[in-house]
Structure 1
Amino acid sequence: MSSSQSSENDVMTPDIREIASDLRNSKGHGFLCFEHDGLYLFIPPPAMLKGGHPADKVKSIREAELKDDDIIICAYPKCGTHWLWEIMEMLISGTIKYQKDVKETRMMEFIFKDGIEAVPSPRVFNTHLPLRMLPRQVVEKKIKCFHIMRNPKDACVSFFNHLRDMEKPYNYEGDFVEFTEAFLSEKMPFGSYSNYLLAWQKETAAAPDLPVLNLFYEDMKIHPVKCVKDVSRFLGLSSTDQFCEDVANACSFKKMKKVDQEMKTKPDMKIWQDGTEGTFYRKGEIGDWKNWFTVAESERFDHIWNKKMKDSGFEFTYAPA
């Protein structure tokens, strides 16, 4: 049995094999996922499922009981979730203190209904799921949501590096060109970024009373103090200008990367392959995509992306100011 087959067997019970979608390309590079409500998702390891079925676990999220003061960070992968989560925890606590937990301990699609309800207050959750898969009470209770976005080319590069270093069977073994094809299509975990954004736009428009603050990764890099103040204001906090500056400084990318390496409690499951540079914080730069795309590849990406996003109104920053 190959190591790849062995890794698959670690998460593929007979019942799960029946629902698994093979998203691998002709070279055998890609993902084994399950599909739920029009979206491909990673098949969680048995330790997370605890004998349950992946689809049932994700469905359970819809029924989770929320508290009126809960907060949710919503984003496609690699768009700044970790960063924003750390900022918000400092603002809410009123102290410059890093969280020892990793944000996966508050990630809705990792902890499901039971885990969501077990988290003590104050609670800042995060998710890569679309609004339609989140607890019904998000809309019913008008839970404050933060939606953070990043330019798609940098998001693509970051996601590629993230998945390349992940532990089998969740890692990606193809090259960057192959990954870009998957990123622009639906054939990857959490689907395409374009579909995520369009779904978010449509689903929030259908819930006009839902309080949402839209943020951009690039703005947080270029104007960190202003963005921290915007977050504090949206949360209804009375943070001083000096404290917002202190938070922005403490949550600089360089410091956050060091904290991730030296302070964070390791999650129960192994995330990164041995011998890789596996980290949630790689470069964090605006415009790193230029080091990965050829001119022709960039133009092709733009053509496909712009066609999908025509008239959507989304505008991104692709280079530092």
Structure 2
Amino acid sequence: MATEKSAMDPNLEELPDLRNSKGHGFLCFQHDGLYLFVLPPQIMKGRRNTDTVKTVTEAELKDDDIIICAYPKCGTHWLWEVIEMLISGTIKYQKDVKETRMMEFIFKEGIEAVPPPRVFNTHLPLRMLPKQVVEKKVKCIQIMRNPKDACVSFFNHCRNLVEPQGYEGDFAEFTEAFLSGKLPFGSYSTYLLTWKAEVAASQEFPVLNLFYEEMKFDPVKSVKDIAKFLRLKSTDQFCEEVAAACSFKKMKKVDEEMKGDLPFKIWKDGSDGTFYRKGEIGDWKNWFTVAENEKFDQIWNEKMKDSGFEFTYTPV
């Protein structure tokens, strides 16, 4: 990985080798026990990845900031649009991509530059977020998705990324990395367990826990729950309008036709790269073999034993 290291970040001391026996893996750096994507030079501008991500904890927040917290591919984009509509009181889609509000992507200076009202998003654990999240009791909304669909969605996302971030391995290899944590943002089980423990250690910390599947089953109820948590006086009719405007089909179309571009290329040429792929519950059944599913269950259930997390794996 020496060539990749010098090309992506000449100041990075050493990159962990996350390649498997077939030579497939991810280009990541490690900070505070977590693997994170090495960001492109256009974003870093000569800075070290570790130095920039450290600045996130020192960012100044406002009392009315809102943070969406989630593991990758669990519904962050979707939830962001819902919250922005509820806050603005209008059915209006965001022209920016959610990465323009992603804490580990814009760092301290970017976080502080966002004008209010501010809805941020992150895949980081609580300990790596701004210290003021806990100090000011900033409202956080955690959205969770069943791990099998999250795994499938994350795989399709990674395999469509440009080099050197793109993943070249097959689904079975990716699943192994997903369970072992040898991928950006670590294993989903560790993320959930860490989040639960860190929130529990922060007294009277306002968190709303949502499930992706529940938002699919009953979007109007979910929108109402979010409005209530944020103490917004949204009418039932408006919540219904928000739920309808933020259906997966409409969100996918908006992403294709309206969203602005990132400051660098993200998807491979000729790929079907998109932040909105299928959005279905139970698509994992089209990817896992019987043996792979049994192995996944065994490992996942052991890691999450007595954790209290319960997921929905099939549509009602």
TM-score, scaled relative to structure 1:
0.97
Which residue of 2 is the match for residue 32 of structure 1?
27
TM-aligned CA deviation for residue 6 of structure 1: 6.9
In structure 2, give the amino acid aligned to 1:39: L
Cα distance between partner residues in 2 of 1:61 and 1:100: 24
Cα distance between partner residues in 1 of 2:180 and 2:141: 26
Match of residue 258, structure 2, among 253, 260, 263: 263
Are residue 223 (structure 1) and residue 223 (structure 2) matched? no
C-alpha contact (below 8 Å) 1:29/1:174 kept by paired residues: yes
C-alpha contact (below 8 Å) 1:24/1:30 kept by paired residues: yes
Instruction: Give RMSD over aligned pairs.
Output: 1.2
Q: How does 1:53-92 map onto structure 2 within 5 Å? A: 53-92=48-87
C-alpha contact (below 8 Å) 2:9/2:46 kept by paired residues: no
TM-aligned CA deviation for residue 53 of structure 1: 1.1
Cα distance between partner residues in 1 of 2:16 and 2:239: 45
Are residue 93 (structure 1) and residue 65 (structure 2) matched? no
Cα distance between partner residues in 1 of 2:7 and 2:88: 39
TM-aligned CA deviation for residue 294 of structure 1: 0.7
Are residue 11 (structure 1) and residue 36 (structure 2) matched? no
Cα distance between partner residues in 1 of 2:162 and 2:113: 28
Cα distance between partner residues in 2 of 1:27 and 1:9: 23
Cα distance between partner residues in 1 of 2:294 and 2:214: 24
In structure 2, give the amino acid aligned to 1:24: R
Q: How does 1:200-211 map onto structure 2 within 5 Å? A: 200-211=195-206
TM-aligned CA deviation for residue 9 of structure 1: 4.8
Which residue of 1 is the match for residue 306 of structure 2?
311
- The one-character-per-residue Cα deviations of 1:163-193 (angstroms, maximum 9, x if unpaired) are 0001111110000000000000121000000
Cα distance between partner residues in 1 of 2:242 and 2:3: 45
Which residue of 1 is the match for residue 182 of structure 2?
187
TM-aligned CA deviation for residue 5 of structure 1: 8.3
In structure 2, give the amino acid aligned to 1:12: D
Are residue 284 (structure 1) and residue 279 (structure 2) matched? yes
- The one-character-per-residue Cα deviations of 1:124-183 (angstroms, maximum 9, x if unpaired) are 000000000000000000000000000000000000000000111111000000000000
In structure 2, give the amino acid aligned to 1:85: W
SS at match of 1:85: helix
- The one-character-per-residue Cα deviations of 1:202-239 (angstroms, maximum 9, x if unpaired) are 00000121100000000000000000000001010010
Cα distance between partner residues in 2 of 1:95 and 1:279: 26
TM-aligned CA deviation for residue 38 of structure 1: 0.6
TM-aligned CA deviation for residue 22 of structure 1: 1.4
SS at match of 1:173: coil
Are residue 20 (structure 1) and residue 15 (structure 2) matched? yes
C-alpha contact (below 8 Å) 1:10/1:45 kept by paired residues: no
Per the alignment, do residues 82 and 260 of structure 1 end up closer, same or farther by CA in structure 2, a change over 3 Å counting? same
Structure 1 segments of 4+ aligned residues over 4 angstroms from their partners: 4-9
C-alpha contact (below 8 Å) 1:61/1:135 kept by paired residues: yes
Are residue 136 (structure 1) and residue 143 (structure 2) matched? no
Structure 1, unaligned stretches of length 5 or more? none
- The one-character-per-residue Cα deviations of 1:38-62 (angstroms, maximum 9, x if unpaired) are 1011111122122221111111000
In structure 1, give the amino acid aligned to 2:203: P
Per the alignment, do residues 167 and 5 of structure 1 end up closer, same or farther by CA in structure 2, a change over 3 Å counting? farther
SS at match of 2:16: strand
Cα distance between partner residues in 2 of 1:19 and 1:138: 31
In structure 2, give the amino acid aligned to 1:288: D
TM-aligned CA deviation for residue 19 of structure 1: 2.3
Match of residue 241, structure 2, among 223, 240, 246: 246
Per the alignment, do residues 7 and 38 of structure 1 end up closer, same or farther by CA in structure 2, a change over 3 Å counting? closer
Structure 2, unaligned stretches of length 5 or more? none
Size of the alignment, in residue pairs?
A: 316
In structure 2, give the amino acid aligned to 1:76: Y
Q: Percent identity?
A: 74
C-alpha contact (below 8 Å) 2:27/2:38 kept by paired residues: yes
C-alpha contact (below 8 Å) 1:8/1:169 kept by paired residues: no
SS at match of 2:242: helix
